[in-house]
Amino acid sequence: MKAPRGTQDILPGTSEKWQFVESALIELCRKYNYQEIRTPVFEHTELFQRGVGDTTDIVQKEMYTFEDRGGRSLTLRPEGTASVVRSFVEHKVFGLPMQPTKLFYIGPMFRYERPQQGRMRQFYQFGIEALGSADPAIDAEVMALAMAAYQELGLKSLKLVINSLGDTESRKQHREALINHFDPHREELCQDCQVRLDKNPLRVLDCKKDREHPAMATAPSVLEYLNEESREYFEQVKSYLDAMEIPYVVDKNLVRGLDYYNHTAFEIMSDAEGFGAITTLSGGGRYNGLVEEMGGPETPGIGFALSIERLLMALEAEGIELPVDEGIDCYFLALGNQAEKEAVRLTYQLRKAGVQVDKDYLGRKIKSQFKSADRLKAKYVIVLGENELEAGQANVKLMETGEQKEIPLTELVTYLKNELAGGK
């Protein structure tokens, strides 16, 4: 038996890195006052059809959809925003006095796509959503948090790319311009883009198959169709980024292809050598209109999401070693039946006192037990044999120096707690 294609086991030795990264992201959200939300792994299929969009590759090709025993169509979540907004509406969070609502999530997502490095069918995503504010300052805050998610872990080869999609009026004019531009080339485009041209022409600009088509290079930019209000909004967003001294590049071809996206759109890319052909680490944007689409009141929103797998890839590409704590505090060696019984009691007491300790459970000889202590990188080894038991004390060895001390059993827990506290 093997794990399904596009999934992976995260084993000890690697899982500690995941825990470190996730803890760092959670602490970052605490600083920015974002609170955690946990939503179901599967939702009604309609949620993603409405929330992600019928014309997207995600909905058309990549969702894991199934019927339950009641004949209801359910889908493993392919992204986090739709679920968060559904919960925001269902529980009437918009009515709470503290607004805007600032949320974060971490969890597995599922997409049926061709597995490749950094892209799995089950992948883990961290994301934030800020709901209830149309202030361009919160757009800048979301981008600042997104950049900090990478920078605080040590990444340096980063590029923030931004664009404006404008408001509804600006997008409508740009949509008409795109249709007029691409319509003469309709038969030259891929089948997906021929459909997109009628339903959501902005997505044509994001096509991987037709990216080299000459019409792409001359396609009208949304920046040319921004009305005064949209242009002013974008200028304010940029001014806030400038105030925080966060470098960025304006890319007029950067789009978020869903109908409800508007105003700010952004991506963060890695320039690290050896990271791979796909340089995007994360993306986000403003989605005024999505809450209404889900049946809620008019509520502006903005968010972003990043892949934990790709974050770890970027760390590896830049040669960054995470300061993951390796080794345990103590290893208990017991020789003889009575000593074994006392070792079980003391191991339990040490753990209750907060000391990280393990012992032998295979009845190995003392030499093999010392080897186990070395493999576990134990700071201290406690030896308890019949002679030590009779004397009411244990032999405690500091592995780094080889120094040994005889410690009364009644004082062992206190002694090791104090020694370990001093070492930290």
Nearest Cα neighbor of 203 from 53, 56, 320 is: 56
Q: Is 226 helix (H, G, I), strand (E, B) or coil?
A: coil
Distances (CA, A) of 68 to 65, 109, 269, 409: 10, 19, 39, 59
Annotated binding residue 261? yes
Cβ density class 217-230: b for 16+ within 10 Å, e for less: eebbebbebbeeeb
Annotated binding residue 80? yes
Nearest Cα neighbor of 149 from 318, 264, 311, 316 is: 311
Distance CA 359, CA 113 (A): 45
Distance CA 41, CA 127 (A): 15
Neighbour count for residue 337 (Cβ, 10 Å): 9
Query: Strand 42-44 and strand 73-76: pairing?
Result: antiparallel
Annotated binding residue 260? yes
* Residue 90 exposed, middle or buried by CB count within 10 Å (0-12, 13-18, 19+): exposed
Neighbour count for residue 326 (Cβ, 10 Å): 9
Annotated binding residue 16? no
Distance CA 216, CA 205 (A): 7
Annotated binding residue 233? no
Distance CA 189, CA 194 (A): 6
Residues forming a β-bridge with 332: 359, 382
Residue spans of alpha helices (H) in 275-365: 290-293, 308-317, 337-352
Annotated binding residue 423? no
Annotated binding site for L-histidine: 79-81, 111, 125, 129, 256, 260-261
Annotated binding site: 79-81, 111, 125, 129, 256, 260-261
